[in-house]
Amino acid sequence: MYYVGIDVGGMSIKAGIIDENGNILRQQFIVTVPDKPSDEIVEEIAVLIEDIVKEHGLTLGDLSGIGMGFPGSVWDQKGEIVYCCNINLVKVPVVKMLTARLGVKNIKISNDANCAALAETRFGAGMGAENSVMITLGTGLGTGIVVDGKLLTGNRSAGAEGGHMQINFGGPTCGCGKKGHYEAYASATALIEQTKQAMAKHPESLLHEVAKIYGINGKTVFIAAKQGDKVAVATLNRYIKYIGIGLVNFANLFYPEVIIIGGGVSRQGDVLVKPLQRYVSRNVYGSKYNPKIKVVAATLGNEAGIIGAACLAMN
């Protein structure tokens, strides 16, 4: 069976032909022009789908379905993009438009964090799990939640916004005007901010030397910590605890079989994942009586987007 998965991002719109086992049979992409009229963007997606299908020697009639992930708020059930971050797609009934344009009946949409969670749960780091939570640590903090094999999205798909969970109401005000949001502590952006603060406070730290060579980014603290710098180790431990606090909150609510860590930071692997595993196992409620919740790093990388989009159409 053939599915097309589309991953719309601020830089590119990626397409893949995906089989029912989550294998990518072909990939293709176009550059995003974010401020085009929305119907032109949708037409570009339509042409991209036609192209990749043709390139693979198929016709649209051979497709079992098409799935699409967008970076923003999506009303899954209605097939409507509510709004997109940095792309001119507001209140766009994209499923209706593409169904009419392409004649393919099974077209599904969701947001990108949901797609990633679905892909990792079906075919990646969480394979075999029926219940999972995935967090994506990037500029922001995205969450995707799978319950009994299906995405949990809430009424009008407005839920699964775990980055906006308040974990420290006494804490400093975050960018969105609210205090103590998870995202403000645990995103890659937050890590960079924490690294900068540690550097300002500790001119003796190796972080300064590392920053001279590699710049200040999500890796800086990991590199310096690996070399034994105490300030970096302390900063990293605190950052890991921040991530852990949110994971335990999710675990207490969803008690999933697996928690998946995605985003650039997750490529650090065991250095990040092992202490998170310990933190979750120690702090989740009722762990004495209940099975261990596995904490793992995502394995599908950037391809989670197109695979997960295709998964939407596989249900």
Residue type, 151: L
Shortest reach from residue 165's CB to a copy of itself, in Å: 5
The residue within the footprint of a copy of itself, chosen from 36, 56, 156, 196 (CB under 8 A), is 156
Q: For residues 306 and 22, is the Cβ–Cβ distance under 8 A?
A: no
The residue within the footprint of a copy of itself, chosen from 82, 125, 265, 298 (CB under 8 A), is 82
Is 275 an interacting residue with respect to a copy of itself (CB under 8 A)? Answer: no
Shortest reach from residue 192's CB to a copy of itself, in Å: 21
Do β-strands 258-262 and 132-137 pair in parallel, antiparallel, or remain unpaired?
A: parallel
Q: For residues 16 and 24, is the Cβ–Cβ distance under 8 A?
A: yes
Q: From CA 286, how far away is CA 35, in angstroms rounded?
A: 50
Q: For residues 174 and 181, is the Cβ–Cβ distance under 8 A?
A: yes
Is 155 an interacting residue with respect to a copy of itself (CB under 8 A)? Answer: yes
Q: For residues 284 and 133, is the Cβ–Cβ distance under 8 A?
A: no
Query: CA-CA-CA-CA torsion for 143, 129, 120, 162, nearest 10 degrees?
Result: 0
Which residue lies nearer to a copy of itself by CB, 44 or 130?
130
Annotate each residue in 48-77 with x if it binds a copy of itself (CB under 8 A) or - if it does not, as one string.
-------------------------x----
Is 128 an interacting residue with respect to a copy of itself (CB under 8 A)? Answer: no
Residue type, 87: I
Is 255 an interacting residue with respect to a copy of itself (CB under 8 A)? Answer: yes
Q: From CA 39, how far away is CA 88, in angstroms rounded?
A: 10
Indicate the length of the chain as a whole number.
Answer: 315
The residue within the footprint of a copy of itself, chosen from 103, 128, 200, 289 (CB under 8 A), is 289
Residues touching a copy of itself, count (CB under 8 A): 46
Residues of this chain that interact with a copy of itself (CB under 8 A) are 73, 82-83, 130-131, 143, 145, 147, 152-162, 164-171, 178, 180, 245, 248-249, 251-257, 283, 285-286, 289-291, 293
